[in-house]
């Protein structure tokens, strides 16, 4: 359990202590109390004494089982159960003295005296230690008073009484103190771990927002600043088709950047639509058709898929057709547009490993076709998205 968290470990210790207390009480009640009750049956004052002792044993058993059940389920023993259980335990202590009879109070037949502490420990589990001390004090007093009622006592009896009080109380008090310490530790560990986790989550979220912001800033900077600086310095002539095309492409990239932040069920289509709108504003008629179920696509892949289409759209003169076709093994973004720019180039690959996107070009007269393709690492289940095909034509 090398990677077990501190709260889990503390909780396990606390539960171990509880099980220890239940086992001690059960063993004591069976191996000591029951044996003494059976062996001393004849010596107990029959029929009243034996009957009283048996009744006390049964009552203690019921209390013990009830308390153990509640505690093992992670609950405290209920208030009502405590309010009934404690008087029953103390009444048992008195009954034990009466049942064992004069002169036998310190003998083994008076077993309830020693058992009250263990059962009170269970009844008062996770409650203040002082309550247990009070019950143990009441136990000692009841034994003393009952003894006084049934026989004369001398100094030696008082000394033996005090000795047994010590013997029947110290163990339970130490046990209860240790248990409450562990319990508190477990709670504290859990609380502090929770606080740490929350702090870490907040930090991670802040870092993420910060990174995203930096990322966007860099993208905007590289997309627009060169162009703006060139225009401002007069190095770029706004009247040339090349500059106009560059401006159109950068405008589409900025628009895509904004679209990436939107919460959309199909981000790829949403981002392409944003790019298409920029082209439409220039008077280009754009068709956008979507075919099949598009799986989740990571942002870097979406950018790689949309980058070449952006350049084609920026160069489009009057019309462009964008298609997104998806099946479980491939996502293909295709653009056909009438343009003068862009040559018939061999296929290229961008990215590496799972983000490899293949780019294909083909020119036929005025028409340029560009396709980007990405193969998802593992076939995504079709059930994640419904089959869909839409056509968007804002103009024309």
Partner 1 sequence: MLTGAGRRADVLLLDLNLHGRMVTDRIAELAAAGHRIVVFSQETHETAILAALDAGACAYLAKHEGREHFVDTIVAVAEDRPYVTPSVAGAMWADARAARPTLSGQEREALLLWFQGMSKASVAVRMGISVHTVHQYIDRARLKYARAGRPGPTKAALLARAIEDGLLRPEDVGEYHSFAAPRPRIGRATNRE
Name which of 117 and 309 has its Cβ closer to partner 1. 309
Q: What's the min distance (Å) between Cβ of 327 and partner 1? A: 7
Q: Give the x-and-dash track for 238-277 against partner 1 (CB under 8 A).
A: ----------------------------------------
Q: What is the DSSP secondary structure assignment for residue 225, as one 8-state letter? A: I
Alpha-carbon dihedral sign for residues 144, 145, 151, 156: positive
**Cα separations in angstroms, 200 against 185, 187, 221, 297, 392:** 22, 20, 31, 27, 44
Name which of 22 and 337 has its Cβ closer to partner 1. 337
Q: What's the min distance (Å) between Cβ of 395 and partner 1? A: 12
185 binds partner 1 (CB under 8 A): no
Q: What are phi and psi of 213, to 5 degrees?
A: -65, -45
Contact 369, 361 (CB under 8 A): yes
Of the candidate spans 69-77, 183-191, 243-251, 387-395, the one that interacts with partner 1 by CB under 8 A turns out to be: 387-395
Written as one string, the DSSP assignment of 19-63 is HHHHHHHHHIIIIIIIHHHHHTTTTS-TTHHHHHHHHHHHHHHHH
Name which of 67 and 336 has its Cβ closer to partner 1. 336
Alpha-carbon gap, residue 55 to 46, rounded angstroms: 13
Residues 278, 284, 288, CA angle at the centre, nearest 5°? 75
286 binds partner 1 (CB under 8 A): no
Whole-number CA gyration radius for the chain: 42
Name which of 126 and 317 has its Cβ closer to partner 1. 317
- The one among 40, 92, 334, 342 contacting partner 1 by CB under 8 A: 334
338 binds partner 1 (CB under 8 A): no
Q: What's the min distance (Å) between Cβ of 245 and partner 1? A: 21
375 binds partner 1 (CB under 8 A): no
Render the burial of 338-359: b for 16+ CB within 10 Å, e for the rest: ebeebeeeeeeebeeeebebbb
395 binds partner 1 (CB under 8 A): no
Name which of 1 and 387 has its Cβ closer to partner 1. 387
372 binds partner 1 (CB under 8 A): no
Name which of 208 and 390 has its Cβ closer to partner 1. 390
394 binds partner 1 (CB under 8 A): no
Would you call 336 helix, strand, or coil by DSSP? strand
Alpha-carbon gap, residue 68 to 352, rounded angstroms: 61
364 binds partner 1 (CB under 8 A): yes
Render the burial of 16-30: b for 16+ CB within 10 Å, e for the rest: ebbeebbebbbebbe
- The one among 115, 250, 371, 372 contacting partner 1 by CB under 8 A: 371
Q: What's the min distance (Å) between Cβ of 302 and partner 1? A: 19
Name which of 184 and 395 has its Cβ closer to partner 1. 395
Name which of 238 and 283 has its Cβ closer to partner 1. 283
Q: What's the min distance (Å) between Cβ of 285 and partner 1? A: 10
Q: Give the x-and-dash track for 131-160 against partner 1 (CB under 8 A).
A: ------------------------------
Residues 19, 25, 29, CA angle at the centre, nearest 5°? 145
- The one among 203, 210, 349, 390 contacting partner 1 by CB under 8 A: 390
179 binds partner 1 (CB under 8 A): no
Length of the chain, please?
396
Interacting residues of 256 by C-beta distance below 8 A, sequence separation 6+: 271, 274, 275, 303, 306, 310
Name which of 244 and 360 has its Cβ closer to partner 1. 360
Residue 254 neighbours by CB distance under 10 Å? 16
385 binds partner 1 (CB under 8 A): no
Q: What's the min distance (Å) between Cβ of 287 and partner 1? A: 6
Alpha-carbon gap, residue 325 to 389, rounded angstroms: 9
Q: How many amino acids of this chain bind partner 1 (CB under 8 A)?
A: 26
Contact set with partner 1 (CB under 8 A): 287, 289, 291-293, 321, 323, 325-327, 332, 334, 336, 360, 362, 364, 367, 369, 371, 382, 387-391, 393
């Amino acid at each position: 359990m090398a990677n077990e968290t501190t709260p889990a470990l503390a909780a396990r210790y606390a539960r171990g202590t509880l099980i220890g207390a239940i086992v001690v009480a059960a063993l004591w009640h069976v191996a000591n109390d029951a044996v003494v009750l059976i062996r001393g049956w004849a010596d107990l004052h029959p029929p009243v004494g034996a009957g009283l002792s048996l009744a006390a044993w049964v009552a203690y058993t019921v209390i013990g089982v009830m308390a153990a059940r509640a505690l093992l389920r992670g609950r405290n023993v209920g208030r009502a159960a405590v309010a009934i259980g404690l008087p029953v335990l103390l009444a048992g202590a008195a009954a034990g003295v009466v049942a064992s009879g004069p002169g036998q109070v310190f003998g083994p037949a008076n077993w309830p005296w020693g058992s009250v502490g263990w059962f009170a420990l269970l009844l008062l589990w996770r409650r203040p230690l002082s309550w247990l001390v009070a019950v143990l004090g009441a136990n000692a007093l009841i034994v003393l008073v009952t003894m006084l009622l049934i026989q004369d006592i001398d100094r030696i009896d008082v000394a033996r009484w005090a000795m047994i009080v010590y013997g029947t109380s110290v163990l339970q008090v130490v046990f209860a103190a240790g248990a409450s310490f562990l319990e508190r530790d477990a709670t504290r560990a859990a609380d502090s771990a929770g606080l740490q986790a929350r702090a870490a989550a907040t930090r991670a979220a802040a870092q993420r927002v910060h990174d995203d912001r930096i990322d966007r800033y860099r993208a905007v900077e590289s997309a627009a600043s060169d162009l703006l600086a060139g225009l401002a310095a007069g190095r770029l002539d706004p009247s040339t088709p090349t500059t106009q095309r560059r401006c159109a492409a950068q405008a589409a990239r900025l628009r895509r950047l904004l679209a990436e932040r939107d919460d959309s069920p199909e981000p790829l289509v949403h981002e392409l639509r944003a790019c298409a709108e920029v082209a439409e504003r220039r008077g280009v008629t754009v068709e956008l058709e979507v075919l099949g179920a598009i799986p989740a696509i990571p942002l870097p892949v979406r950018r790689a898929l949309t980058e070449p289409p952006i350049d084609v759209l920026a160069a489009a003169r009057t019309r462009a057709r964008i298609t997104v076709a998806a099946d479980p093994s491939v996502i293909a973004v295709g653009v056909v547009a009438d343009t003068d720019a862009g040559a018939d180039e061999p296929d290229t690959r961008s990215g590496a490993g799972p983000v490899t996107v293949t780019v294909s070009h083909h020119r036929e007269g005025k028409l340029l076709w560009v396709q980007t393709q990405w193969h998802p690492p593992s076939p995504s289940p079709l059930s994640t998205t419904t089959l869909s095909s839409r056509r968007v034509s804002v103009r024309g």
